[in-house]
Structure 1
């Protein structure tokens, strides 16, 4: 007979020690405090025949969107498959969903987790993993609706409840429901101040509303909880740098990069993506970041040289190369991405469509911009920005597309397009030093920069 975890979900282990270790690993996966690997190894030692710890290892590795970890994730899934004899239906469903992720069929995986959550709304793993792949797919509705369908069934005293509330807050923010998002995130942090996803959700709200001074103060207020021993820290340092970019405090941004996003400190693909995104923003406003970008690009190539796994990451790899002045290397990277995206044996993969329809046009536009073909870059970027959600990531992350389009507009003949983009920006949030920078470059009258 199956045992139950702390939320009443069936698990295929009768070992309390194994279940406790898996619960600790689950908290680490949702809170980002340290990695879950040590706890999962304890769970495996306590019950060698239990499938779930191996599934959790696979899911944690796959969520990194790092091609270098795909083989390790596949091995973990093989280990899980060898232990299906005592697995529950719920655990088998997780195996099916993770195999779909491994196969590149991310939409199908999220639908499988949807089905699982209808039966087990307190399945934190299904909520965590579907949320991550909703973000990777740019599915803002899924980010909001899936936690919303589950939260009323959760006990508010559950230690993981604040973390699920943090997921919901971020989903609300990505659906432009900013007051509700901020309220949900602050509620999560009242229950448990160690919920980086909730800190992150408020940072996004403040960014989207143009409350940049508040954003810096917000991250500083909670910094003692997220800055040390947390794998979300590098992304929150990125957010801190983003607020400084809006103030055109380029020296401050460079200090943050050197302290927290330098090439020598980065160990995962998401961290390298953040570093590339920040260096590219500085490059666009005229900062010489070539040495830092080259170190990042070289370190990235040493860790992983497989293109075409995830178009969002590929685009950022291109920005690192271009900011480093490595145009030829960037062109070769894009060509390899195109070759994989157009390969027939990858037709089932989400990234096949994502790269072909969104990623490759964006990367080619960035190449055109780097070659000085700024009007051509603008012609591609202007329609592509409307489909950019399909490449994944958040609104704040995808803003580097608009920033590049603005740079192309001010350098070329599409100045009316640049003015329209600034109008759009000013209708959404107050003017910042960065907005005024672009307005000045466009030669707009002072009253248009307010």
Structure 2
């Protein structure tokens, strides 16, 4: 009898143990829940020729920024798939191999083709989705819409009770301006599987984008204590609660959350999350006029320096520039911006000139050259989506522009930007945000 994955696709293993541990491991991986590595290792041990077990383990290594281990496991997967895998399994391994070997454009093309052929192969379908997926980091300005289109194209294959698909369909809609629909979908996903950090993350985003920050705060406060601190999204979900605290003017609570959950010494998250969460939260605190305790900037910069030393990863580059500017490393900002400009000129930076522009604007902001900062950011404001990440993450750039406009005497332009945000998130009218950004 053929062994099947959770969504009815056949698995090339003769071991019931391998199949069962694989199903469990993929569930844990897709819900960002601890235990995935152990389950997938057990699947591979039960059947060393089970290609998909090696491939999923390789994916987990890649998520944890362990490139050498990821390459070794995807090589083992490719060898096993060549010996005994199906067409689907060989394609599955090929797509993951492209991701792991740093070929995102080809990986996106192949992932979309694979999804058309086998839409219920969710480990591959997941790759273009999410804040750090192949669409988000493609340099596309319309990646929010692209995720919605992908989800809707394949929605008929999933029905109303697939917790994974509901999670990512909800997140995609919330990010694309349909916060209410996104919240409903993410809530159904959460109700189906509460041990699902990605659903809480999606629901938090939908609440935030829909102006329901207090609902997000209650959700996170009630759920986060049950999520192991080693979970990859523990610190990032706490970061969302810190944003809510800042929006209502409670810098003390935001700093307490940072100290307990978000700062590099407290978070076991993905390096890109740890670095960007630290940089953006501290930048918001400083920009809004709150005191950042001594040593926090330096500790975040020290964590990030060996992890993202080279220019070329747009989302990381922007946040590295915030860290360098805030710690007085003018040479570091200029060096990264110059390297990025060269990449743009060579046509090898998908996100384009908006990336070095943000870096230079950050330095101008810290140096008090607000008119210069605004002059750099205003022309590229519509291109910020190209750096990837989520709307909540990219909002730090919009904050910087609003503040620079206000502090350079361009209050009308600043209020026009702020009013667009108030229209999107009306609950901000009840906060101290506006008074905080008044110079």
Structure 2 gaps, min length 5: none
Say whether 1:74 aligns with 2:77: no
Say whether 1:221 aligns with 2:217: no
Aligned counterpart, 2:363: 367
Moved more, 133-142 or 401-410: 133-142
Which one of the candidate residues 72, 92, 95 is aligned to 1:94?
Answer: 92
C-alpha spacing 1:274/1:12, structure 2 compared with 1 (3 Å) = same
Secondary structure of 2:128's aligned partner:
helix
Q: Is the 8 A contact 1:44 1:50 kept in 2?
A: yes
Output the CA distance in 2 between the equivalents of 1:232 and 1:297. 21
Q: Is the 8 A contact 2:55 2:93 kept in 1?
A: yes
More helix, by proportion: 1
Structure 1 gaps, min length 5: 442-450
Output the CA distance in 1 between the equivalents of 2:409 and 2:367. 16
Q: CA deviation at 1:124?
A: 1.7
Q: CA deviation at 1:211?
A: 2.2
Aligned counterpart, 2:256: 255
C-alpha spacing 1:41/1:309, structure 2 compared with 1 (3 Å) = farther
Output the CA distance in 2 between the equivalents of 1:129 and 1:420. 36
Aligned counterpart, 2:285: 282
C-alpha spacing 1:240/1:173, structure 2 compared with 1 (3 Å) = same
Q: CA deviation at 1:122?
A: 1.6
Moved more, 372-381 or 250-259: 372-381
Aligned counterpart, 2:329: 326
Aligned counterpart, 1:183: 184
Output the CA distance in 1 between the equivalents of 2:261 and 2:225. 15
Q: Counterparts in 2 of 1:140-219, with a 5 A limit? A: 140-154=144-158, 161-219=162-220
Moved more, 198-207 or 378-387: 198-207
Aligned counterpart, 1:447: none
Q: Is the 8 A contact 1:143 1:170 kept in 2?
A: no
Q: Is the 8 A contact 1:296 1:320 kept in 2?
A: yes
C-alpha spacing 1:154/1:226, structure 2 compared with 1 (3 Å) = same
Secondary structure of 2:295's aligned partner:
helix
Q: CA deviation at 1:35?
A: 5.1
Say whether 1:389 aligns with 2:385: yes
For residues 290-329 of structure 1, the C-alpha deviation after alignment (integer angstroms, 9 at most, x for no partner) is 5201101102224x24323421012112212222333333
Say whether 1:16 aligns with 2:20: no
C-alpha spacing 1:130/1:335, structure 2 compared with 1 (3 Å) = same
* Two-structure CA RMSD over aligned residues (Å): 2.5
Secondary structure of 2:127's aligned partner:
helix
Q: Counterparts in 2 of 1:82-121, with a 5 A limit? A: 82-83=79-80, 84-121=82-119
State the TM-score, normalizing by the size of structure 1. 0.87
Q: Is the 8 A contact 2:58 2:74 kept in 1?
A: yes
For residues 142-172 of structure 1, the C-alpha deviation after alignment (integer angstroms, 9 at most, x for no partner) is 3223233334323656xxx212211111011
Q: Is the 8 A contact 1:293 1:321 kept in 2?
A: no
Q: Is the 8 A contact 2:263 2:274 kept in 1?
A: no
Instruction: Count residues with an aligned counterpart.
Output: 427
Which one of the candidate residues 123, 126, 130 is aligned to 2:124?
Answer: 126
Q: Counterparts in 2 of 1:58-69, with a 5 A limit? A: 58-63=58-63, 66=65, 69=66
Aligned counterpart, 2:37: 37
Say whether 1:419 aligns with 2:415: yes
Secondary structure of 1:77's aligned partner:
helix
C-alpha spacing 1:150/1:402, structure 2 compared with 1 (3 Å) = same
Aligned counterpart, 2:28: 28
Q: Counterparts in 2 of 1:340-379, with a 5 A limit? A: 341-342=343-344, 352-354=349-351, 356-379=352-375
For residues 245-300 of structure 1, the C-alpha deviation after alignment (integer angstroms, 9 at most, x for no partner) is 10111111100000001231234312221121111111111233252011011022
Q: CA deviation at 1:227?
A: 5.9
C-alpha spacing 1:73/1:336, structure 2 compared with 1 (3 Å) = farther
Secondary structure of 1:265's aligned partner:
coil
Q: CA deviation at 1:184?
A: 1.0
Output the CA distance in 2 between the equivalents of 1:323 and 1:57. 38
Output the CA distance in 2 between the equivalents of 1:286 and 1:2. 62
Output the CA distance in 2 between the equivalents of 1:40 and 1:309. 32
